[in-house]
Amino acid sequence: MEIGAKKSGKVLIIGRPNVGKSTFLNNIIEQKVAITSPKPQTTRFAIRALFQDPRADIVFVDTPGIFIKAQDPLAKKINQTTLTSIDEDFDVVIYMVDHTRRRDFEEAKILGIVRKINAPKILVINKVDKQDKTFLAQYEFLKSEFPDTFAISALKKMHLKPLMDRLIELIPHHAVEQSTEHANPYPLMNIDSKTFISELIREKIFIMMGEEIPYETAVVVDEVKNRSEELTYIKARILTSALRYKKMLIGAEGRKIKEIGAYARKEIELAIGHKVFLDLTVEENAHWQELYS
């Protein structure tokens, strides 16, 4: 084992809900590590994922967006998770904004938090592929406050390389143990397989259902068992807060739950590389948010 001069560090990604933080992380890591959807409140806990290239090893911390009005237990828990996540030492902070949305009190709150973090900061203006509606002028003043500003499209993978090049420049040199026995000595992610599977299923609920249902659901994976080298059995439950949501998730003659299950199963199979039998059910539980509080 030898000691090399490869850079290593930790980078915080922070911004309002639904600005594209998880999409950015997925495309930087080049595989899905965080679920995405057009709806807010998609990410419910901090995701930590490892980026590696010959120049640096970087642990990215993708935080849930902070909500101004956090009245229910889940929203309060999400806010607390984010505040806890940022109470660490970071080498660089990425502050991401969405130029297609007006600046508001929520944005001002995030900016206030960012200003208090003692680390080099990069302003990232996301969604530049969308030019039909823009409030970019409301964010211009930030360019004088942040030494580095990058305009990107996380979704379209536009202009990510210059951002990553600058990020790696800002990461300090540390003495890193390099072992020929383990090409990847760190875990790629901070979540276990059951949590990752539950997140994939929850993503499909967000995508396939209406505006109201996703926030009223959680997914619990009870069992993951390899029945053979070619088949994995997964037992999971969708928890929802009211009977009307349960009926909507199941659908007429069970069609909707079958669609969600089929969609989720295909992505899980892609992730693990072989066939999956997904046993997916829906349960009504008015107190499911207590699981997150």
Predicted TM-score (pTM) of the model is 0.65
Per-residue pLDDT, averaged over 90-94, amounts to: 93
283 and 155 share one domain: no
161 and 202 share one domain: no
Mapping DSSP to helix (H, G, I), strand (E, B) and coil, where does residue 6 land?
coil
- Asked if the model's pLDDT at residue 163 lies above 90, the reply is yes
Q: What rounded mean pLDDT belongs to the chain?
A: 80
Least confident of 33-47, 60-74, 228-242: 33-47
CATH number for 279: 3.30.300.20
Q: Is residue 100 domain-resident?
A: yes
What percentage of residues in the chain have a pLDDT greater than 90? 34
95 and 159 share one domain: yes
- At 77 the pLDDT is 53
225 and 140 share one domain: no
172 and 218 share one domain: no
151 and 206 share one domain: no
d(Cα 113, Cα 15) in Å, to the nearest integer?
10
235 and 131 share one domain: no
Most confident segment among 18-27, 143-152, 241-250:
143-152
The residue among 126, 146, 178 that closes a domain is 178
- Asked if the model's pLDDT at residue 76 lies above 80, the reply is no
3-state SS, one letter per residue, for 236-277: EEEEECCHHHHHHHHCHHHHHHHHHHHHHHHHHHHHHCCEEE
Q: Is residue 69 domain-resident?
A: yes
CATH number for 130: 3.40.50.300
How distant is the alpha carbon of residue 27 from its chain centre? 11
The residue among 146, 178, 210 that closes a domain is 178
Asked if 233 and 258 touch (Cβ cutoff 8 Å), the reply is no
- At 158 the pLDDT is 95
Q: Is residue 188 domain-resident?
A: no
171 and 202 share one domain: no
Asked if 81 and 45 touch (Cβ cutoff 8 Å), the reply is yes
125 and 166 share one domain: yes
Range of the domain at 65: 2-178
- At 187 the pLDDT is 41
Least confident of 64-73, 149-158, 261-270, 275-284: 64-73
